[in-house]
Amino acid sequence: MTIKKAALCAALAAGMTVGAAICASAADYSFEGVEAKEFYPSTRYESVCGARYNYDGRNVIDYDVLENAYGVWSSVSIGAAERVRLPSETTAASGSYGLPDEGAPVIYTTAPVMSVTSAYKPPSYTNVVGMEYSDGSIGTVKIPSLGISMKVWEGETNASMAKGLGHYSSSTGWDGNVCVCGHNRGAKYVIGSIKDLAAGDTITYSTVYGTRTYSVNIVGTISNTDWSHLQATSDNRITLTTCLANHPEYRVCVQAVEAG
């Protein structure tokens, strides 16, 4: 009996040793997939404010006083391209807006500066509801000088940019400041070349409402936390953003206003 028990214990011990070796070997490997990083956090009202939008009364965003980056005063009636420096801000060379001098490009403004005394005009806005084509896209952006022609899909997500351009859900779909984003490189649809656009180059945007032609007036680089160029405007314009190669802390930003 003692010999049988000893043999049984030895067999169990051997089995446990083999099992432990297998577990240790399996632990050396990982088969879990890695999610693609979302460079463009959602700008939907529900996501940002944590509540549904109340169309009949005050909302959380009504009490939120936004801070403009780089000490620049702006309002929805003026727009991102027509900024006025605060008196306390020193004038930077080459028209920069105070980005760190680390070799990264800065924003250059080619549009004339409007007076802050201009009469207020409410921002324009068009809901994307009802704008979808049969394939689900809401429009098409074309940049002739770069050979770019891409469909626009709702949402600033990797899923949208995998098919073309993603539309910032917080921005208008037609009237006002239409804001879209795209990949810089490493994907089927990329718009990294927008950094090579020049003032006066044209961009067209076609939707179920028609086609608009815009003239480029801003080409530059902004911080990845600067959302001021996405603000609503009373005039019609289009804003495009993409990542800056090897500089995840920045975005390339192009803005164009409707051609007269």
**CA distances for 129 relative to 76, 173, 230, angstroms:** 23, 9, 20
**The pLDDT value given to residue 60:** 52
Q: Which band of pLDDT confidence, cut at 50, 70 and 90, is reported for residue 201? A: very high
pTM strictly above 0.75 = no
User: Distance between CA atoms of 42 and 107, rounded to whole angstroms?
Assistant: 24
pLDDT exceeds cutoff 80 at 132:
yes
User: Distance between CA atoms of 237 and 213, rounded to whole angstroms?
Assistant: 9
Three-state DSSP class for residue 4: helix
Q: Which residue has the higher pLDDT, 155 or 15?
A: 155
**The pLDDT value given to residue 203:** 98
Q: Which residue has the higher pLDDT, 90 or 256?
A: 256
Residue-wise burial string across 137-175, b where 16 or more C-beta atoms lie within 10 A, e elsewhere: bbbbbbbeeeebebbbbbbbbbebbebbbbbbbbbbbbb
Tokens coding 197: 């656009």
Domain positions in the chain: 45-258
**pLDDT, tens only, 157-171:** 999 999 999 999 999
Handedness of CA 40, 42, 205, 82 (dihedral sign): negative
**pLDDT, tens only, 215-253:** 999 999 999 999 999 999 999 999 999 999 889 899 999
81 burial (CB, 10 Å; 0-12 / 13-18 / 19+) is buried
pLDDT exceeds cutoff 80 at 109:
no
Q: What is the DSSP string of 202-229?
A: EEEEEETTEEEEEEEEEEEEEETT--GG
Q: What's the CATH number of domain 45-258, 3.30.365.10, 3.40.50.2000, 2.40.260.10, 2.60.120.10?
A: 2.40.260.10
